[in-house]
Copies of this chain bind each other. A is one copy, B any other.
Amino acid sequence: MTQGIKIVTIGGGSSYTPELVEGFIKRYNELPIRELWLVDIEAGKEKLQIVGDLAKRMIEKAGLPIEVHLTLDRRSALKDADFVTTQFRVGLLDARAKDERIPLSHGVLGQETNGPGGLFKGLRTIPVILDIVKDIKELCPDAWLINFTNPAGMVTEAVLRYSDHKKIVGLCNVPIGIEMGIAKLLDVDHSRIRIDFAGLNHMVYGLDVYVDGISVKDKVIELLSNPENSSFVKNVEGQGWEPEFIRSLNALTCPYHLYYYKTDEMLKKELKNYNEGTTRAEVVKKLEDELFELYKDPNLAIKPPQLEQRGGAYYSDAAVRLISSIYNDKRDIQPVNTINNGAIASIPYDSAVEVSCVITKEGPKPIINGDLPVAVRGLVQQIKSFERVSAEAAVTGNYDTALLAMTINPLVPSDKVGKEILDEMLEAHKEHLPNFFSKVEA
Contact = CB atoms under 8 A, between A and B. Distances in A.
Query: How many residues of A sit at the interface, in one of the four size bands?
Result: 35 or more
A128 to B, nearest CB: 23
A403 B346 CA distance: 23
A88 interface: no
A215 B389 CA distance: 25
A87 interface: no
Nearest to A366: B368
A134 interface: no
Contact of A414 (B194, B265, B383, B400): B265
A377 interface: yes
A222 interface: no
Interface stretch (A182-190, A241-249, A273-281, A306-314): A241-249
Contacts of A377: 381, 384-385
A413 interface: yes
Nearest to A342: B342
Interface stretch (A28-36, A40-48, A171-179, A404-412): A404-412
B407 A261 contact: yes
B378 A245 contact: no
Question: For the complex formed by this chain, how many copies does it contain in all?
Answer: 4
A191 B425 CA distance: 46
Nearest to A399: B244
Nearest to A370: B341
Contact of A367 (B242, B349, B367, B385): B367
A386 to B, nearest CB: 7
A262 interface: yes
A341 B368 contact: yes
A342 B403 CA distance: 30
A310 to B, nearest CB: 28
A375 B408 contact: yes
A332 to B, nearest CB: 7
Given A367-B358, A401-B248, A264 B345 contact: no
B362 A215 contact: yes
A368 B367 contact: yes
A365 interface: yes
B358 A245 contact: no
A-B pairs, top 8 by smallest CB distance, nearest first, are A213-B361, A213-B329, A378-B382, A378-B385, A248-B400, A381-B381, A264-B413, A248-B404
A234 interface: no
A245 B210 CA distance: 46
B403 A245 contact: yes
A290 interface: no
Contact of A378 (B333, B341, B375, B381): B381
Given A342-B343, A342-B371, 6 more contacts: A242-B418, A261-B407, A261-B415, A264-B417, A341-B345, A365-B369
A442 interface: no
B345 A403 contact: no
Contact of A213 (B194, B360, B368): B360
Interface in A204-253: 208, 210, 212-215, 241-242, 244-245, 247-249
A49 interface: no
18 contacts: A194-B331, A210-B360, A213-B361, A242-B415, A245-B400, A245-B404, A247-B400, A248-B404, A263-B414, A341-B368, A342-B368, A343-B368, A346-B348, A365-B369, A378-B378, A378-B383, A378-B386, A379-B382
